[in-house]
């Protein structure tokens, strides 16, 4: 059937099961936005108009991470498209499947420095799994279908589609094609085969599986390290839990692996690395076998690669061959999807136990937490846990509050912690919280942020209020850029250059200005009362928590040092 390109786009989104799009219109993309109104697609696909394109990018990312679906984001050309780049890079670093759709200037204006022209495909090439410039209307449907397939397949990630404006005026033949028929569709199948990324995850080598089982049988002190790859792999978490419980050995996690092993589990040692627990860091230093599943060995985990797991044989399980031996040299590796690898391991696993090893690992206790009249960070997280029954999805920005959230909130399921782990994006949290709540309307969503981070995204309160998205924002307000100040205190001789935030706004008044409830708390009792009120209201809220300016994240290992060289205990 004949239809205009914008209608083809909408029909393709419906083919993919898209129910929500986050975006911001502009001149070049108006034909697509007009289709929402002209053809009634707004009744089939919710469009959330954010306050800024970056907010839309993070919202689509938060939606994707919390639902396991592909997020979708729209923007216009030029500054609209470049405002997405931070969000695209954030999704890329954390392997989040988002399709970004932009519209550029027309073919006759390309390359002429036209108004709001930018080479967004060139700009985003290093931070996307794949990107496209659509010059012909007849290519549009198959490009969209391929983009979604690439975004969700293998190691997930963001894909960008840039469409020339003249294409959005054109009429083209369109035939509906359900997702399950894509691989058999001649032209699309050929495009998929030519795609720069292999869409078919290889079957793990069964010999490699047996070798790991033999290494486990020979080990006396094994440690399991879980990363975000287990969270991203559909169906991997149940297999992972079966694996480590049969192994019956200590389990540690990267920040992106939060929720793969329940935080309250008897085998869980906590997070590993720069702000890892004593038990985790001492365990990785003394284990004789490290089984790392779906992690990158980043510089926040393996701070000094030369000494990381120095007494162990290191086994790396990952879907992406390029990650093997990139940061840490391994003794054995298995390439494959985490779910399938774990499924095969579980078929050959026999029960184990390491009582002496576990007793030694768990003998490394953390410093007792303070309880007095001051509101401490751990009390904020413990209260959120208690009031929400541990059911809340937690989104964060980046800094001290991010580490406190990872340390003190016991995540019990995948997709419950949504944070910018790889790119470290300040301003990520509120957009991500909006997306998470849109994708999970029955779950409480709490944004944990700092006063510095919240300044970068607080304009999205307009979006929260307009669409009545009941996100509860908890601001850890220490009137400083806390993590930077912590480094300045410990490493830079207490020279606090440009980190004091001794200025506005009044966050409660800011919330009220947007028509949102607000509260200010200085004690645990005040915070508990405010949080209960916010949860019961079913409305968006902003709760400001007065935190000690010198509160620090404990423990801390300086960058580049062995993981047991604690600078701060």
Catalytic residues: 53, 115-116, 165, 483
- Contact between 271 and 243 under an 8 Å Cβ cutoff? The reply is no
147 half-sphere exposure, CB direction, 13 A CA radius: 28
Give the residue among 35, 27, 36 at the shortest CA–CA distance from 165. Answer: 27
Q: What is the rounded distance in angstroms from the CA atom of residue 7 to the CA atom of residue 37?
A: 11
Give the residue among 27, 56, 95, 504 at the shortest CA–CA distance from 319. Answer: 95
Q: What is the rounded distance in angstroms from the CA atom of residue 398 to the CA atom of residue 452?
A: 10
22 half-sphere exposure, CB direction, 13 A CA radius: 37
First to last CA, the chain: 68
The angle, 0 to 180 degrees and rounded to 10, between the axes of the packed helices 338-348 and 236-247 is 40
- Which element (helix H / strand E) includes 277? none
Q: What is the rounded distance in angstroms from the CA atom of residue 36 to the CA atom of residue 259?
A: 38
Q: What is the rounded distance in angstroms from the CA atom of residue 301 to the CA atom of residue 281?
A: 9
Tell the burial category of 286 from Cβ atoms under 10 Å away from its Cβ (0-12, 13-18, 19+): middle
C-alpha torsion 18→22→25→28, nearest 10: -50
Cβ partners under 8 Å of residue 514, min gap 6? 461, 462, 464, 465
Q: What is the rounded distance in angstroms from the CA atom of residue 430 to the CA atom of residue 106?
A: 34
């Amino acid at each position: 059937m004949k239809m205009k390109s914008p209608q083809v786009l909408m029909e393709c989104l419906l083919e993919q099961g898209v129910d929500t799009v986050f975006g911001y219109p502009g001149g070049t993309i108006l034909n697509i936005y007009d289709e929402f109104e002209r053809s009634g697609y707004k009744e089939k696909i919710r469009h959330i108009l954010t306050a800024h394109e970056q907010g839309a990018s993070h919202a689509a990312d938060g939606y994707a991470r919390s639902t396991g679906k592909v997020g979708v984001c729209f923007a216009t050309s030029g500054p609209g498209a470049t405002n997405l780049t931070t969000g695209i890079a954030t999704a890329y670093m954390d392997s989040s499947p988002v399709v970004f759709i932009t519209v550029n200037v027309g073919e006759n204006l390309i390359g002429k420095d036209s108004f709001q022209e930018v080479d967004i495909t060139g700009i985003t090439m290093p931070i996307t799994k794949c990107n496209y410039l659509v010059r012909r209307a007849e290519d549009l449907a198959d490009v969209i279908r391929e983009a979604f397939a690439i975004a969700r397949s293998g190691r997930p990630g963001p894909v960008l589609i840039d469409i020339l404006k003249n294409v959005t005026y054109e009429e083209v033949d369109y035939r509906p094609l359900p997702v399950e028929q894509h691989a058999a569709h001649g032209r699309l199948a050929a495009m998929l085969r030519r795609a720069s990324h292999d869409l078919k995850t290889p079957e793990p080598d069964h010999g490699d599986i047996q070798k790991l089982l033999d290494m486990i049988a020979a080990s006396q002190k094994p440690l399991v390290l879980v990363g975000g790859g287990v969270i991203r792999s559909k169906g991997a978490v149940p297999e992972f839990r079966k694996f480590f419980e049969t192994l019956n050995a200590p389990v540690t996690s990267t920040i992106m692996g939060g929720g793969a092993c329940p935080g309250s589990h008897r085998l869980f040692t906590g997070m590993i690395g720069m702000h890892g627990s004593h038990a985790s860091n001492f365990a990785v230093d003394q284990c004789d076998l490290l089984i790392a599943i779906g992690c990158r060995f980043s510089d926040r985990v393996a701070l000094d690669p030369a000494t990381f797991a120095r007494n162990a044989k290191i086994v790396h399980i990952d879907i992406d061959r390029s990650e093997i031996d990139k940061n840490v040299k391994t003794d054995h590796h298995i390439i494959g999807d985490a779910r399938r690898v774990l499924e095969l391991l579980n078929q050959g696993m026999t029960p184990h136990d390491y009582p002496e090893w576990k007793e030694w690992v768990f003998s490394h206790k953390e410093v007792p937490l303070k309880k007095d009249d001051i509101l401490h960070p751990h009390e904020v997280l413990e209260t959120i846990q208690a009031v929400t029954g541990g059911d809340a999805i937690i989104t964060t920005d980046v800094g001290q509050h991010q580490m406190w959230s990872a340390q003190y909130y016991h995540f019990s399921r995948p997709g419950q912690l949504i944070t910018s782990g790889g790119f470290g994006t300040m301003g990520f949290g509120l957009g991500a919280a909006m997306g998470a709540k849109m994708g999970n309307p029955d779950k409480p969503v709490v944004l944990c942020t700092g006063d510095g981070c919240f300044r970068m995204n607080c304009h999205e309160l307009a979006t929260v209020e307009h669409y009545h998205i009941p996100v509860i924002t908890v601001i850890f307000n220490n009137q400083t850029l806390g993590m930077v100040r912590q480094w300045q205190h410990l490493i830079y001789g207490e020279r606090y250059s440009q980190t004091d935030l001794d200025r506005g706004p009044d966050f409660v008044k800011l919330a009220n200005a947007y028509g949102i409830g607000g509260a200010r708390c200085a004690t645990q009792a005040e915070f508990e009362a405010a949080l209960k009120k916010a949860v019961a209201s079913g409305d968006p809220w902003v709760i400001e928590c007065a935190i000690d300016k010198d509160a620090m994240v404990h423990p801390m290992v300086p960058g580049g040092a062995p993981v047991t060289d604690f600078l701060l205990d």
